[in-house]
């Protein structure tokens, strides 16, 4: 087992990479009204009441300023079949929307077709977070479908699987989530 060496950012990244995440593409409308998008794997649920989500926006990303100012955004949760979209939206200097099937979101922000889930959000806050901004959005509408998610862990894409419901025979989950429904 490796020990912690906070001066070694590559090693810290390797340790953080042991936590598997889903892969999303954030979309919004830029200041000129054209769609903007980027691949993000730092998406997380924050609160159910009110329904809040958060994600990390790298200050080094060329689209950071446009996303920071966008009043609305969509979280597009990618399926296993959308690996190419993840790669396309992670590149800079290209038309990220070239050849991409879109659908109109109710909040006026384009959504990527064929995703596992869409969360339409109003940006409610941006917080300092080191070399990132923490973007908080209030979910105003969502949709989801079945299928296998695209997963990222240990610096590589991983195969997701359809989630199997496991019975909570000891009541631990029910106790932890009581009062949330």
3-state secondary structure the chain: CCCCCCCCHHHHHHHHCCCCEECEEEEEECCCCCEEEEEECCCEEEECCCCEEEEEEECCCCCHHHHHHCCEEEEEECEHHHHHHHHHHHCCCCCCCCCCCEEECCCCCEEECCCCEEEEEEEEEEEEECCEEEEEEEEEEEEECCCCEEEEECCEEEECCCCCCCCCCCCHHHHHCCCCC
Q: What is the pTM of this model?
A: 0.83
Examine the pLDDT at 180 and tell me if it is beyond 80.
no
Average pLDDT over residues 13-26: 80
User: In the chain, what are the domains?
Assistant: 9-176 (2.30.110.10)
Average pLDDT over residues 38-63: 92
At residue 181, the pLDDT reads 44
pLDDT higher at 18 or 96: 96
- pLDDT tens digits along 134-172: 999 999 999 999 988 998 877 777 776 555 555 656 665
At residue 168, the pLDDT reads 58
Average pLDDT over residues 34-44: 93
């Amino acid at each position: 087992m490796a020990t912690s060496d906070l001066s070694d950012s590559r090693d810290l990244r390797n340790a953080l990479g042991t936590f598997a995440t889903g892969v999303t593409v954030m979309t919004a409308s830029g200041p000129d009204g054209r769609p903007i998008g980027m691949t993000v794997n730092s998406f997380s649920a924050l609160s159910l009441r009110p329904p809040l989500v958060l994600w990390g926006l790298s200050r080094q990303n060329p689209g950071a300023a446009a996303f920071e100012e966008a009043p609305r955004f969509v979280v597009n949760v990618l399926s296993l079949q959308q690996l190419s979209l993840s790669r396309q939206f992670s590149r800079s200097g290209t038309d990220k929307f070239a050849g991409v099937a879109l659908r109109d979101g109710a909040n006026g922000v384009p959504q990527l077709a064929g995703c596992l889930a869409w969360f339409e959000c109003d940006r409610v806050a941006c917080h300092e977070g080191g070399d990132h901004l923490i973007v908080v959005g209030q979910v105003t509408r969502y949709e989801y479908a079945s299928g296998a998610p695209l997963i990222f862990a240990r610096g590589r894409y991983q195969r997701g699987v359809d989630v199997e419901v496991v019975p909570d025979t000891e009541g631990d989950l029910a106790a932890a989530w009581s009062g949330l429904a």
